[in-house]
Amino acid sequence: MTGRDAVREHVAEVLGQPAGSLDDHEDLLDRGVDSIRLMHLVERLRESGVDAEFVDLAETPTIAAWADLAGRRARA
Amino acid sequence: MTGDERFDVVVLGGGPAGSSVATLVARRGHSVLLLEKERFPRYRIGESLLPATVHGLCRLLEVEDEVAGAGFQVKRGGTFRWGAGKEPWNFLFAVSPRLAGPSSHAYQVDRMEFDRILLRNAARHGVDVREECPATGVLRDEDGRVRGVRYADRGVAGTVRARYVVDASGSTGRLWTAIGGSRHYSDFFRNIAVFGYFHGGKRLPGPDRGNILCAAFDEGWCWYIPLSDELTSVGAVVDHSRASAVQADRVQAFLDLVGRCDIVSDHLADATRVTEGVHGQVRVRKDYSYATDRFHADGMLLVGDAACFVDPVFSTGVHLATYGALLAARSINSVLSGDLPEAIAMAEFEGRYRREYSVFHEFLTAFYDVQQHEDTYFWQARKATGIGDTDLEAFATLVGGMASGDTGLAAARRRLVTAGHELSAGIAATGPAQTPSGERMATLFRTPVVREVMTEGSRIQAGGVPGRPLLPGGLVPSADELGWATVG
Ligand SMILES: Cc1cc2nc3c(=O)[nH]c(=O)nc-3n(C[C@H](O)[C@H](O)[C@H](O)COP(=O)(O)OP(=O)(O)OC[C@H]3O[C@@H](n4cnc5c(N)ncnc54)[C@H](O)[C@@H]3O)c2cc1C
């Protein structure tokens, strides 16, 4: 469960905005992702089996980049 | 009559650790008495704070807004003239300039005011706060378990009974000895600090004006903390062997040392030392890095400086003190509510607290190791390669799970040396303050020893996130974050 759709769901919930309104390539910092929300996202991704790191998400704040990362960091 | 008084918990000391543990236990509806020796406001060093304290912990204390509204100097990080390069570099709390949010700033605080806010907040949460009431000893039952304390109230002796006694009486309290352990004083961090205040000191440029500045010089290092537009806290840290010279004439020693740290003396070029009032004294502190070998025993817990403290260069003191307070409150609350057996709750308190202390210890050792000044005694004695065996043993014990004997010590040393190298590389790659790369902290945050040191602080700030146990087979914070829960 780590494709773009899954990541988009997590982001939508943390932001309290509909998933359909989020573009895969837009900068999520412009959509209101701040440090605390990012920490929540890290914990959610970890719960779903991805070794996500705060700094990685912070450096490239788009759904596309996070989905790539989630694919690479998924625990077997 | 006072002998009949009973509380669920008695807390000794009303500094940040004492006020925090008292408030967090009272928030669960338990009765708490807090005894404080002095009358507030009272002076204290320890003015530069971290985001985990002013947001994470203060949120749990329900005092975050009051602290935010108190007018304290906002701090976006620390500026260091430290390490291989000549240019100052920044350790910023925000990973990148655009990533805003509470975790990206902290405050520089006048501790008279900050500590008073936290103590008043404890009273507001139902804690019975009694100032000018020093605790004088503990009471035990026939089995030796601590059951209360003796104290003095304006010269009149009193006793009070409680299920738990929490010693948060700071570094000068003597009550911690009742725990039955001993204290290990670090040789590596055996420094003496001499400090005072100036009016009219310069400020770092632009967004760094609120930062703490720490600058190494031949004989040690200086701190420079902007407390307000006018007032600056300045201190010099040197080897403890200079204690008698420093104490013989503190003011002269202070001015001489600060004058030898060029970046700090440049900032003070047009400043005058405060000579009156509470900021008018030049004060001295020494031998302040230590850990007690147990943090709890039979009805008593140690938190804050009463338990441990390690070197001030990274402004970790109040965080470590209040983190210990949070853990103590969770463990006490979990036992008082009947949710957990005492042994399990206290093991979580002690295990997490020691882990955090060892993480800070490792980080701070690496931090000293980074400084290149190898031709002077102070810096030579603070290379990770040269740490003495007793310090290494203490470290290996803290970290736990390291082999004993020579191989264990060698492994502990290797670990500290490696941490120093990694940190140096992270700093070098980040580059000087206010450059494009120097504004981005990702490389530094990825350095293993930095990541470790930030883990728990970030989790406390994130709050309410479903956690995983920090310790193998350990507990997780309960939903209200005021107790512990088991997993699965
Ligand atoms: C040189 C130096 C610089 C530092 N700089 C920083 C910094 O920049 N940032 C930072 O976070 N930390 C810093 N620290 C550390 C910081 O000062 C402490 O870690 C912090 O104050 C600990 O809080 P506490 O609540 O444990 O103790 P304290 O703040 O010391 O409070 C203890 C309280 O207990 C009371 N008390 C004592 N005895 C008794 C008794 N018998 N009965 C009842 N009450 C009693 C005292 O009056 C006091 O109010 C620095 C420390 C040093 C030495």
Give the nearest chain B residue to A47 (CA atoms): B466
Q: What's the whole-model pTM score?
A: 0.96
Domain ranges within chain B, ordered by starting residue:
5-47+55-69+106-185+291-357+460-485, 191-286, 358-454
Q: What is the average pLDDT across B438-460?
A: 92
Q: What is the average pLDDT across B252-262?
A: 97
Q: Judge: B446–A53 Cβ closer than 8 Å, yes or no.
A: yes
Q: Which ligand 1 atom is nearest residue B20's CA?
A: 25
The verdict on whether omega for the bond into residue B41 sits within 30 degrees of 0, i.e. cis, is yes
Residues of A in contact with B466 (CB under 8 A): 43, 47
Assess whether the C-beta atom of B21 lies below 6 angstroms from ligand 1. Answer: no
Assess whether the C-beta atom of B37 lies below 6 angstroms from ligand 1. Answer: yes
| Total beta-carbon pairs less than 8 A apart between chain A and chain B | 55
Angstrom distance (rounded) from CA B313 to CA B171: 17
- Position B2 scores a pLDDT of 47
Hey, what domains does chain A have and what are their CATH numbers?
3-73 (1.10.1200.10)
Cα–Cα distances in Å, from B224 out to B193, B360, B431?
Answer: 13, 21, 21
Q: What is the CATH number of domain B191-286?
A: 3.30.9.100
φ, ψ (nearest 5 deg) of residue B79: -110, 130
Residues 442-461, chain B, touching A (beta carbon < 8 A): 442, 445-446, 451, 458-459, 461
Residue nearest to atom 17 of ligand 1 (CA): B46
Pick from B104, B445, B461: which is nearest to A55 by CB? B445
Report the mean per-residue pLDDT for chain B: 94
HSE at residue B326, side-chain half, CA atoms within 13 A, is 29
* pLDDT over 60 (residue B317): yes
* pLDDT over 90 (residue B82): yes
- Position B3 scores a pLDDT of 53
Residues 6+ apart with CB under 8 A from B418: none
CB B164 within 8 A of CB B7: no
The pLDDT tens digits for B23-37 are 999 999 999 999 999
Candidates 3.40.50.150, 3.50.50.60, 3.40.50.1450, 3.40.30.10; CATH matching B5-47+55-69+106-185+291-357+460-485: 3.50.50.60
Assess whether the C-beta atom of B234 lies below 6 angstroms from ligand 1. Answer: no
When pLDDT is cut at 50, 70 and 90, the band that residue A45 belongs to is confident
The pLDDT tens digits for B106-125 are 999 999 999 999 999 999 99
List residues in chain A touching B: CB distance below 8 A: 29, 34-40, 43-44, 46-47, 53-55, 58-59
* pLDDT over 60 (residue B421): yes
DSSP string, B120-131: HHHHHTT-EEES
